[in-house]
Structure 1
Amino acid sequence: MTSVTIIGCGWFGFPLAKSLIKQGYSVKANKRLPQDLNQLSQVGIDAYQFDLAVENTFNAARELLNTDMLIINIPPGLRRGETDYLANLHVLTSAIGDKQYQRIIFVSTTGVYPNEDKVMTENDAQPHSLVSETLLQAESMFASMNNSCIVRFAGLIGPQRHPGRFFAGKSDVSGGNVAVNLVHLDDCIAATSLILRAPEVAKVYNLCAPEHPAKADFYPYAATHLGEIAPQFNQQTAPSKIIDGNLICRQLGFSYHHTNPIKMLDAC
């Protein structure tokens, strides 16, 4: 039985772990607090208390990182002002050392792309801000490892993440022309599972639904779908980037289940 370790078993990692168990993998995962381990154990996950910022949990890393495949899904928290993201990842790479894995997947975001009027492919990332510079530094720690793949998620939506709250009730909102770049949790799980199985993968894949409605069309609909007050957009425009998530489709035969962000709302 192939073993997979997930570092970061939260909103994405936990349902991913449950899906992988159903697919026949043996799954290990961590939580930072001991009281959270039972949630993992109850669904068949081999649970470990491990916090990259707490030295006395490092012993758990030895067994946790003894695995066939490794998925690293640590939210950066940069927009919340957290500053220990890169330091924590350095701790993790030190713990990995020279271990060799059949596949390493590092979960990143499409925040690495600048706000420009163009279609963004995997080759268009650049350090256009402090946040993007940090994200790219994080990616670089794992990109050089054997059998690694960076997966950049667009805006994540799904259960407990309904986008109808984002602009609900606001008025005079600018950028109504800007394209929406979203991806549903279901497609993130399916794509990650496919990357684990694939014999050969690219170094980087974007994950983003192929349809991109304008914000002025999408967010009022999303708000009313949730029973909130629809936002009002003004006429002020902004650069509109479109994330191209098609490379994984062309190379690995992936097919997005949720192609239209408006229709995705029924699955949130």
Structure 2
Amino acid sequence: MKSHCDLSELDAFSAVARHCSFRKAADERGVSASALSHAMRALEERLGVRLLNRTTRSVTPTEAGHQLLATLLPALADVADALHKLTSRQQIPTGTLRLNVSRPAARLVVAPLLAPFMTAYPRINVELAADDGLSDIVAKGFDAGVRFGESLAGDMIAVPIGSPQAFVTVAAPCYLKRHGVPKTPHELLEHVCIGRRFPSGKLYKWEYLAEGQPLRLAVPGPLILEDDALMIQAAKDGIGIAYVYEEMARADIAQGQLEELLVDWKALSSSFFIYYPSRRHVPPTLQALIAFVRERKSQ
């Protein structure tokens, strides 16, 4: 005679014994009372032990049924707890989040988020590639990128991250003492400027607003760099005038090592965006980052 029984049968017996009712136990489990009664008779036959006393008005555990129930209840509770923990673990984002981020975005908006984000999601590993080019994030296996909005392809989903970023025109007091202070953007053409070259090879044109209209200038200069920190240092050394992110130059301006120029001509601020391809299944790690960014933005 086989005494094997599965967990569902034992759980069903536990329900009948706890409720002392086939009907209540059946309602709890979503089955019919007659099906549950037949299942219990089959269980008793396999075990060779009567587990339930039945009358037309009641169902109560036998002595053997009470003994089995006393053993089953903590065991079933342990199983339920283990399954709950497993399900909860699956709901907590786990894995690696790969981001392709421009160097300014990495410094200005991503780096300040890393510590709080990784504290909030300790099971997420972040892999960040600083890249000023417009890489194909899909082809290179990245989950998302971070760039200025105007540089993004139209088929990308974009979510703003961090505060809008402005550019400033700056120079060291020693440079301005030697060469004078430009009063309009066009006067930059007579000055020594520190150029910026994109990874694509194109030189960046400095941007201003002239009576509400955008103005873009190709400025002259003997020094061309790709990194804002180097541009700021070159400007502080008196080499020339630089056009850099305001947030990166703010401390040097406050300390008097740099002076901000052409304040009335400053262009409008731009925002960085997390962007990723339009697809139905967004990785849980990226969902977590987007939710985190949105929550901080709403605070």
Shorter-chain TM-score tier: under 0.3
Higher-RCO chain (CA-CA 8 Å, sequence separation at least 6): 2
Structure 1 length normalisation: TM-score? Answer: 0.26
Larger % of helix: which? 2
Larger % of strand: which? 2
Structure 2 length normalisation: TM-score? Answer: 0.25
